[in-house]
Structure 1
Amino acid sequence: MTALVIAEHDNASIKGATLNTVTAAAQCGGDVHVLVAGANAGAAAAAAAHIAGVSKVIHADAPGFEHGLAENVAAQVLAIASNYSHLLFPATASGKNIAPRVAAKLDVAQISDVTKIDSADTFERPIYAGNAIATVQSSDATKVITVRTTGFDPAAASGGSAAVETVSAVADAGKSSFVGSEIAKNDRPELTAAKIIVSGGRALGSAEKFNEVMTPLADKLGAALGASRAAVDAGYAPNDWQVGQTGKIVAPQLYIAAGISGAIQHLAGMKDSKVIVAINKDPEAPIFSVADYGLEADLFTAVPELVAAL
């Protein structure tokens, strides 16, 4: 029984989500192989070979893989899928784009957003915005799984010595082409990889107040900035700051929520954080139910006092 992790990478290095997925794959039992499909991605394949717990890296190199187009990567996965009992993807935008295509072609059920591996055929995943955990058992010969990375510790990026096997790349499917990308520039840590996140909610009242109150705290802590969906919808913060079920799923070492009531949608995106601090003047706010530390106070007073004390 062997599991294949489809690596997420930028052709030069392996992205963090892949490390969490390797941990999940190892818990399925058997060996763990990693597929690096890229263009001039030798450096990424070498980096994958150093991941602890990986026994083989499969490297497919072709221009059609340069930007990770789902049609091409899915075809490459399908070309070698018969060798594996489990195919695991990070539950990122890329993984969620490729995995369903693979599952459909194999005519198997996809098991999405897995947070725990109970056994080789039994998995746990959140449902109802994380209010309940479903235990799913699959009888499919090949399990196609997307892994919620916050549910697993990352594998060590060094210490491994896997062999790198080069395989023939599939032909470009010709069904899509890369036109361009607009990447948000940010001097702060990337939200899903940050160790500390400071998030603001609708209570801040305006984009100006959001910046005035939350930015100094984030600067002091070296933190990423996040926001609730209500704050994003109101225009207080950009879309890529949204934390929650329809935003980004995060699990930092420290999560500070200021002026966030704690709707189910938001809690689903951050409740796995190691330490949660909530600042809210409403003592009945649901955010306090998941907080390790709660401060019932006006954020406009409490946050500047916190900044001054740091």
Structure 2
Amino acid sequence: MADILPTLLFAEHDDASLNPVTARALTAALALGAPVHVLVAGENAQAAAQAAARLDGVAEVLLADGPAFAHRLAEPVAALGVALAPAYGALIAPSTAVGKSVMPRIAALIDVMQVSDVIAVVAPDTFDRPIYAGNAIQRVRATDATRVLTIRTAAFAAAGEGNAAPLRTLDLAEPSAHSHFVGEDIAASARPELTAARIIVSGGRALGSAEKFHEIVEPLADALGAAVGASRAAVDAGYAPNDWQVGQTGKVVAPDLYVALGISGAIQHLAGMKDSKVIVAINKDEDAPIFQVADYGLVGDLFEIVPELKAEIAKAKA
């Protein structure tokens, strides 16, 4: 075990706290069988680094703190990853917007193959990943000396807490970059973040309009304390914003409960939510493909069923 190079996990965080996907990606990293170090790159990110040190199984936390990493742009974070790569047998990140931006760049710079969207670790060099919108699983063997992986975190349970891993601050020259942060416009919401939510209520094109989407989907989500999702058809029709989209070209989720309202169940959508623990579908078309993956299905008019369901939830809470 002494000659096995450790694994480096890139933490997903906002400087103040860790995104829950980091704990899920850690479970995948630990399955490689090597010690796991967590890299926290940010500005004033001490709090996130301390949170990473509490995760079970972490051997060490590396903190790269400086203005260059303030917004986790792909260029500086990738340059940092390349500098650290010789000391590690695997570089791993969650399949988030940041991970998908950084890891392919690292793989190209160190001239190795990347394995994307890993859903199972079969062996330290062998991984399963979905292809064809999740209709087939591809088993890939990575023969490079350094493995570069992105993890579909919905497929892994979150690691627990209670650890006290050592924290080491990196003293590295800040990398130069040709891109610079200009600004961001973040949508604020009191609801849970979609990829981290335990309950999700999603609406489809059958809702008919943005007004009906807000009138039907959002009150039920609020009653359940859930995040709000949408099918691609609903997003394309302008019923919901892009960041609510669940599916192959949206966000991949695996909540404890997924409620699909007026969603037919196209392959593209199923690829993003079929790993949910319990799926409830409400659709007037009894032949809708969504019922093939649903644990509970209600065939009927969602404009009647959903208000009744919300009323029953309110009664149960009273």
TM-score by length of 1: 0.97
> What secondary structure is seen at the aligned counterpart in 2 of 1:73?
helix
**1:14, distance to aligned residue in structure 2 (A):** 1.6
Tell me, in whole angstroms, the C-alpha distance in 1 between the residues paired with 2:85 and 2:243.
Answer: 34
> What secondary structure is seen at the aligned counterpart in 2 of 1:219?
helix
- Residue of structure 1 in register with 2:296 after alignment: 293
1:48 to 2:33 alignment: no
Contact 2:80/2:175 (<8 A) preserved = no
Identity of aligned residues (%): 62
Matching residue's letter, 2:153: T
Matching residue's letter, 1:224: A
> What secondary structure is seen at the aligned counterpart in 1 of 2:219?
helix
Which deviates more from structure 2 when the two are superposed, residues 164-173 or residues 239-248? 164-173
Q: Of residues 226, 241, 244 in structure 2, which corresponds to 1:241?
A: 244
Q: How does 1:53-202 map to 2 (within 5 A)?
A: 53-156=57-160, 158-202=161-205
**CA offsets, 1:205-248, max 9 Å, x none?**
01111111222211211111111110111111111111111111
Q: Of residues 14, 18, 26 in structure 2, which corresponds to 1:22?
A: 26
Contact 1:108/1:144 (<8 A) preserved = yes
Which deviates more from structure 2 when the two are superposed, residues 216-225 or residues 108-117? 216-225
**CA offsets, 1:31-59, max 9 Å, x none?**
01111122222222222111110001111
Tell me, in whole angstroms, the C-alpha distance in 2 between the residues paired with 1:172 and 1:101.
Answer: 14
Tell me, in whole angstroms, the C-alpha distance in 2 between the residues paired with 1:10 and 1:73.
Answer: 14
* Unmatched 5+ stretches in structure 2: 314-318
**CA offsets, 1:245-280, max 9 Å, x none?**
111111111000011000001000100111000111
Tell me, in whole angstroms, the C-alpha distance in 1 between the residues paired with 2:75 and 2:219.
Answer: 44
Tell me, in whole angstroms, the C-alpha distance in 2 between the residues paired with 1:115 and 1:162.
Answer: 26
> What secondary structure is seen at the aligned counterpart in 2 of 1:291?
coil
Q: Of residues 287, 307, 312 in structure 2, which corresponds to 1:309?
A: 312
Which deviates more from structure 2 when the two are superposed, residues 299-308 or residues 28-37? 299-308
**1:167, distance to aligned residue in structure 2 (A):** 1.8
Matching residue's letter, 1:185: A
Contact 1:7/1:14 (<8 A) preserved = yes
- Residue of structure 2 in register with 1:283 after alignment: 286
Matching residue's letter, 2:103: A
Kindly report structure 1 stretches of 4+ aligned residues shifted beyond 4 Å: none
Contact 1:229/1:243 (<8 A) preserved = yes
Q: Of residues 38, 41, 46 in structure 2, which corresponds to 1:37?
A: 41
* Unmatched 5+ stretches in structure 1: none
RMSD over aligned CA atoms reads 1.0
TM-score by length of 2: 0.95
Q: Of residues 213, 219, 241 in structure 1, which corresponds to 2:222?
A: 219
> What secondary structure is seen at the aligned counterpart in 1 of 2:58?
coil
